[in-house]
Amino acid sequence: MKIVFNKTVSGIIEIARGMFTIFKHAFRPAITLEYPEKKDIFSSRIRGRLALTTNESGNLDCIGCMSCTKVCPCGDLIQIDTSKDENNKPVINNFTIDLGRCISCGNCTQACPKQAIIMTDEYELADYSRGALVFDKEKLKLSPEKSAEWRDKKARDV
C-alpha cells in the first residue's frame, strides 16, 4: 500500500511541476519569427549566395587569378575564362559558378586576393531545376552600391 501511495504522490508532484513550467512559459513573449513575412538579420559572415563585387565604375574587382578555382574542393564548380586587353590587363570573359554543387565552405572567398568574390546574406536558393542554379557573370555581379555596402559591413564586423 505504501508503494502505491508513493507512486501516486510522486505522479502528482511531477504533474504539478509540468503545469508550473507551462504556466511560467504561457506569459512570456513569443520568440519565433513568422518566417516568410519576417526574416532574421544575419552578420556579414553568413555563408549565403556567392557574388562578385564591382568597383565604383561598375567593373568587376576580379583579376582572373584563378585562386578561387584552385582552392575549391568541388573540382570544376567555378569556371573562369580570361583574356588580355590591349593594355595587357586581364579581362573576365566568362565566370560561372554552379551553386547547386557548392558546399558553401568559403574557401573561394578567403583565397581571393582582391576579395572580389563574397558570400552574401541571401540564403533562399531553392529552385526546381539544377540549371537555374548555374550563375553566370551577370547573375553574380553586384552593383557598385551593393559592393560598397558589403565592404563597409565587412569592415565593421572585423
Give the helix/strand (H/E) hosting 144. Answer: helix 144-157
Cβ atoms 70, 78 nearer than 8 A: no
Half-sphere exposure of 28 (CA within 13 A, CB side): 8
> Phi first, then psi: what are they for 78, rounded to 5°?
-105, 125
Strand 50-52 and strand 117-119: the pairing is antiparallel
Q: What average pLDDT does the chain have?
A: 90
- The answer on pLDDT for 25 being more than 90 is no
Q: How far apart are CA 50 and CA 108, in angstroms?
A: 9
Tell me how many helices (H) and strands (E) the chain has: 5, 5
Domain at 50-157: CATH code: 3.30.70.3270
Which residue(s) pair with 52 in the sheet? 117, 141
Joined grid coordinates for residue 4: 502505491
- Return the minimum-mean-pLDDT range out of 113-117, 122-126, 127-131: 122-126
**18-22, 37-41, 105-109: the lowest-pLDDT one:** 37-41
What pLDDT is stored for residue 136 in this prediction? 95
- Domain coordinates of the chain in residue numbers? 50-157
pTM summary value? 0.74
Copy the grid coordinates of residue 60. 568587376
154 compared with 48, residue with greater pLDDT: 48
**pLDDT class of 113 with cuts at 50, 70, 90:** very high
- Region 68-94 average pLDDT: 92
Residue 94, CB half-sphere, CA atoms under 13 Å: how many? 6
pLDDT of amino acid 158: 64
Query: What is residue 4's three-state secondary structure?
Result: helix
The pLDDT of residue 75 is: 86
Task: Please tell me the distance from the alpha carbon of residue 70 to that of residue 108, in angstroms, as a whole number.
Answer: 8
Q: What is the CB neighbour count within 10 angstroms for residue 116?
A: 23
CA 150 from centroid of its chain's CA atoms: 13
